[in-house]
Amino acid sequence: MARPLATSRPGPAPPANDPDSGVTTRILPAVGFSFACYLVIGMLLAILPSYVHLRLGLSTVVAGLVVSAQYVATVLSRPHAGRMTDALGPKRTVLYGLLACTGSGALSLLAAWGDGVRGLGLGSLIAGRLLLGAGESMVATGATMWGIGRVGYRHTARVISWNGIATYGALAAGAPLGVVLERRWGLASVGAFVVALSLASAALALRMNPAAVVHGERMPFRRILWRVTPHGIGLALGGVGFGVIAAFVTLYYAQRGWSGAALALSVYGVCFIGARLLLSDVIQRFGGFPVAAASFAVEAVGLALLGLAPARSAAFAGAALTGFGFSLVFPALGVEAVRHVPAESRGAALGAYTAFVDLSLFVSGPAAGAVIGGYGYPAAFVSAGGAGALALGLTLWLSRRG
């Protein structure tokens, strides 16, 4: 039988008269590193598809592959990042991840300087995406476990929620920032910003106190993977929508003759954050599975509306519903997944669980590109809505199974 959530693990104890006092203020410094990492990701997501397709003259499938290359490295490195967090501690894991982000920025600079040579520019972009994917897995997993270490395991859902707020807040802010920098000063300015931000974040991380490493016998990874896989499949199906939006909303808007594609990404992120702020206690009140099921239903409707939108305003509404719907999926299914794993292996469990959405994002880019090539842009978004409907069915089955 899985051990219950530990309440006596290392981490600052809240005041006895107010168990939740100051919890959020102790979480924010740790998840701030996720914000920095995903600000970088958001900047590049907003500019790379059009850069590869329009500037380098390559196909939409190649543009999708460039975007998805990041998720190859993330999928492969998530389990290792989780084990690293359990063994070395969250602080060192975050630092290694920020150094990988720095390298990604340097490769973006190289791509900008070599864009006259198609092979050099494309190769540098792909290498940078791979390095950024490894950095993402280390920063996101390490920051989440660092936050849990600072406030205790009973606040796991709250830490996961705030890490998601940091993540999608950064994506929302990064998209327009990346567009402005690239249009005014080119890709090189984006690369330079990435290097500076990553190094500054690493300097801040060095000044923070580490979270204690939980010692004990580690659960074999194959058993961890077996326990989180059903929840991870649901997460992967839900993640298809964001993968399609991230890779192709810019080109979709251009094909329809609409402006404001970067704003669509921002609307998605703002509604994602809004749902977590407004509904922060619903998982604790109603349970993970009911919240996940309702979330998938809203997401599926949003993606269908985005794909079939007759006007730009309707497309914005679809992006808003998609972000609002997907917002609580990760913490809702995540709480159900990690509660079956002992405390000393929860970093590995979180890494394995998160790898499913990375796998989804990797597959959704080229798959959506192929769908677009055969059936047009609307079909890609409607198909993503269908994946959300499948996730809803899986969640209902898991809730009945217990």
Q: Per residue in 104-130, pLDDT tens? A: 999 988 888 866 566 777 888 889 999
Q: Per residue in 222-260, pLDDT tens? A: 788 888 899 999 999 999 998 898 878 888 988 888 888
Per-residue pLDDT for 7 more than 70?
no
Q: Can you name the CATH fold of 25-401? A: Growth Hormone; Chain: A; (1.20.1250)
Distance CA 62, CA 202 (A): 33
Give the list of residues 6+ apart from residue 10 with CB closer than 8 angstroms, or none.
149, 211, 212, 214
Could you give the C-alpha distances from 14 to 18, 32, 161, 260, 272, in angstroms and in order?
7, 21, 19, 45, 29
Q: Tokens standing for 351?
A: 């890494």
Q: Per residue in 263-285, pLDDT tens? A: 888 888 788 888 888 887 788 78
Q: What is the pTM of this model?
A: 0.72
Could you give the C-alpha distances from 157 to 154, 208, 276, in angstroms and in order?
8, 23, 11
Q: Output the average pLDDT for the chain.
A: 84
Could you give the C-alpha distances from 277 to 32, 50, 179, in angstroms and in order?
16, 33, 27
Residue ranges covered by each domain of the chain: 25-401
Q: Per residue in 64-81, pLDDT tens? A: 778 778 878 887 888 888
Model confidence at 3, pLDDT cuts 50, 70, 90, reads very low
* Of residues 183, 211, 195, 175, the one with CA closest to residue 319: 175
Q: Tokens standing for 24?
A: 């959020």
